[in-house]
A and B are shown apart, each in its own frame.
Chain A
Amino acid sequence: MIHAQGLTKYYGPLTGIEGVSFQVERGEVVGFLGPNGAGKSTTMRILTCYMPATAGTATIDGLDCFEQSLQVRSRIGYLPENVPLYTDLPVRRFLRFVASAKGVEGRKEKGEIDRVVAVCGLEKVAGRIIGHLSKGYRQRVGLAQALVNSPSVLILDEPTTGLDPSQIIEIRKLIKGLSERHTILLSSHILPEVAQICQRVIIMNKGRIVATDTPSNLTHQLQKSAHVNVEVKGAASPALMDAVHGLPGVLGVKHANDREGRFIVETDRAEDLRPHIARLLVERGESLLELKLMDLSLEDIFMQLVTEEKVQEEGSP
């Protein structure tokens, strides 16, 4: 559905993105993840035909974003970052403008507006001027304008930024509901959000894609080691920790900071070492209080990827 090949964009001497390639299949929900300035918005702006790429090609539904811009634009719904809207127009009037701008036929216009108003829960504010609405409602109006004329692709640039927690949950629900009918590409710098909504994550940093996979695969593949939390009654003696370190497959043992009986065992992922650790501890006559495998959160992986990149760049001459 969306196909990007070697997208590059320079802003004068500054590099926006470099060599970005990815694919999104029909019906997929894909999330762009990255710190601010990673190039998420730039990539989206190229896909939505807001601006052309310096190099590389982007196609949507087989149509080139630069050559067949008008056809591409009629197939996408776009929610720009910060949700720019005509604040002097009432909601319904604005949606009418959008409907006729997107070429909805006059007869179907009212029905289409009623539909997006209902989908986005805007019934209460449909007659109010956009400038007087709260941030949450504006976000919904932004989403509503993207949905007008049921485009097959939705491109949402940070759809939940600036909302309060309950609004964030509502918007996420809304987007999840939309995923049945649309191919969705969204960006975010909130990691759990992407993990919740998206089937696939594209992590960007400094204008490049650093990883692409499903949230669970990313967690699995990128975990080079698994951590096991162990807590025993009383203080963990150095002799005990040395003994644990001696087990095959253990990479390191270190004290946890919070309690003196607790320590963290770093293991390779070849085998679950919990039974071995338990046996060892019991054999040594320790009272085992806790034994828990810790999974790296997406957040940890993200930090790992982003910082690794940094280290490499600093290391290169």
Chain B
Amino acid sequence: MKGFVAVYRKELYSLFASAIFYVVAFTFLVIAGYFFYSNVAYYNIVSFQASQNPFALKQLNLTEMVLRPYFLNLSVVLLFMAPLLTMRLYAEERKTGTMELLFTYPFSDRTTVLAKFSAVVSAFVLILAATLPGIVFLHVVSEPNWKVVLSGYLGIFLMGSAFIALGLFTSSLTQNQIIAAVLSFGLLLMFWVIGWTGSFVEEEFHRVFQYLALTSHLDSFTKGVLDSRDIVYYLLFILFFLFLTLRQVESHRWRG
């Protein structure tokens, strides 16, 4: 446990001392803010039109027109940003040789993997928290469904953590941060599009692929539905890649 706290604090310090974190946070927030603004602006125009057309009023839905697209937009931005947060985790340790310190301090490899993962997830939660003022604004001018907001953020949190677990794994594969980022992005994109095979594979395979796809599991969260299957999917995804990372780190030790 001591080792966990030590590595966790060190990782956070390194992260907050690096320019990468601030560039990623800035870019993420600007793009997220733009999407949020455009969704709200569109909703605004439609609600003006609805004031003259009582039939359109029934279709006016804050969840469907602002929140849902917003969360889906966030997930896309995250796809590009997560690899940048995770790429240095192990790659840098291997390049500078500090792996030798980590390996000879009295704590297990598992502790290191968990601490590194938790540190980046914490930083990610911080970035995510910075998007909350938008929702507060929405609350001031309208009545967003808070259950949808909460489940949407939970979905984004789980998805982001899954991205980070995968990024941690690709970072453990190489000494080069760029390679780690590209691999991570490529793999994430594969998991993103794998569900779109419906038109050219058989039905059973399509369903398997669809279950494996990262995107299909976010949908229910953005509707305000907490489906245990989706939660389990993300948790398994995270565990699987943390496990692979641990194996990779251990094999690095064996190979010397």
Contact = CB atoms under 8 A, between A and B. Distances in A.
Interface in A168-222: none
Nearest to A16: B256
A16 B256 CA distance: 10
Given A100-B9, A101-B6, A84 B98 contact: yes
B140 to A, nearest CB: 41
A101 B7 contact: yes
A48 B105 CA distance: 9
A74 B97 CA distance: 20
A52 to B, nearest CB: 7
Contact of A145 (B18, B96, B101): B101
A22 interface: no
A93 interface: yes
A82 interface: yes
Size class of the B contact interface (CB-based, 8 Å): 20 to 34
A97 B97 contact: no
A118 interface: no
A45 interface: yes
B254 A84 contact: no
A3 interface: no
A82 to B, nearest CB: 6
Interface in B1-20: 2-3, 5-7, 9-10, 13-14, 17-18
Interface string A142-184: 0001000000000000000000000000000000000000000
B108 interface: yes
B227 interface: no
A9 interface: yes
A88 B2 CA distance: 22
A22 B65 CA distance: 74
Contact of B254 (A16, A49, A52): A52
Given A45-B256, A73-B104, A80-B97, A101 B17 contact: no
Contacts, number: 84
Contacts of A48: 104
B10 A97 contact: yes
A73 B2 CA distance: 14
A100 B9 CA distance: 10
Contact of A73 (B96, B97, B100, B105): B105
Contacts of B255: 11, 51
A84 B97 contact: yes
Nearest to A86: B98
Nearest to A85: B98
B106 interface: yes
Interface string A66-106: 00001101101010101011111100010001101111000
Interface of A: 9, 11, 16, 42, 45, 48-52, 70-71, 73-74, 76, 78, 80, 82, 84-89, 93, 97-98, 100-103, 145
Give 4 nearest A-B pairs by CB, closest first.
A84-B97, A74-B106, A100-B6, A101-B6
6 contacts: A80-B101, A84-B101, A85-B101, A100-B6, A101-B106, A103-B106
